[in-house]
Amino acid sequence: MNTRTLGTLGSVSALTLGGGGLGQVWGATTRDEAIATVHDAIDGGITRLDMAPTYGRDSEAERVIGETFAGRLPAGIRITTKCMLGNPPRSEVFRRLSESLDSSLERMRLDHVDVFILHGMIDASAPDGATTRGSLDSFRETVLPAFERIVASGRAKAWGITGVGIPNDILNVLEGEPKPAVVQCIANVLDSAGGMHRWDGPAKSREIIAAAAANNVGVMGIRAVAAGSLTSALDRDLPPDSPESHDFERAAPFRAVANELGLSPAFLAHQYALSMPGVSTVVLGVKNREELRECLAAEAAGPLDAEIAERLSTLAKQ
């Protein structure tokens, strides 16, 4: 597999195995199949695994990691995990981050992670007590020092943020000091955050990716298939008025192009995300080996033809 540079963290595989599929966020699988998928991902050249406590019932994705490796990661394999902090009282920030990471490490049977990522939105207007978004002031005054303390403790080598939310607030963090080592950004042909889009205005995902690259912050591209909207068929029941159902209808021209090229929509969606300028690694949401094989093949196919990429990029403007 090709490798790329992930900001200041050095070389990384072009694909990262995410925990959403392993934790059954994107449809049913089994623990045995999830473990087999992790092994095949590593055999296929993937060097980074991206987990979170919220990926699956009882943090299933992290438990998959614990059972797969029993605390002994193969050489060169790096793990990231996250914490959905919200906007608690500032006196509780370090404790909550620290306890969340300790619980994740216990489930994964590890003593440290490569990157510890703030899950949820950064929002300058977040109210006190919000559960999925934290205020920009609190981030500057309490979250950043807490991350620095955690890195100093050795339990994480670096910290990062989720770059999905109020664009100006994310850009503020990327351009400030100290900078995150990584940012997770929407990277799909529709520029869509789907159900994660809970603010007014566009996502500005490409602007965020460009700002991260300009500031030497590694970009982990997420939602390459737009939560299933860029596949042949949604693999879970969703209300017809859901953002993903809307995106699936909006993506009909994309599926037509895939058919014209003789490719599956998922293959083309991953190839497109891998071809986006500034994206260091694309995080996969696969839940089994069959889905993984298609992603590995998309990466092996190389960059998308520039003319086709430009043609597909017009979909984001429709």
- pLDDT tens-digit map of 217-259: 999 999 999 999 999 988 777 888 899 999 999 999 999 999 9
The ranges of the chain with pLDDT < 50 are none
Domain 3-317, CATH number (from 3.10.20.740, 1.10.287.1770, 3.40.109.10, 3.20.20.100) = 3.20.20.100
299-315 pLDDT per residue, tens: 999 999 999 999 998 87
**The pLDDT value given to residue 27:** 85
**The pLDDT value given to residue 317:** 65
Note the helical H segments in 134-251. Answer: 136-138, 144-153, 167-175, 205-214, 243-250
**The pLDDT value given to residue 26:** 86
- Adjacent-strand bridge partners of 5: 11
Question: Which H helix or E strand runs over 219?
Answer: strand 218-222
**The pLDDT value given to residue 262:** 97
Judging by beta carbons within 10 Å of its beta carbon (0-12, 13-18, 19+), is residue 81 exposed, middle or buried?
buried
Is the bond preceding 127 in cis, omega lying within 30 degrees of 0?
Answer: no
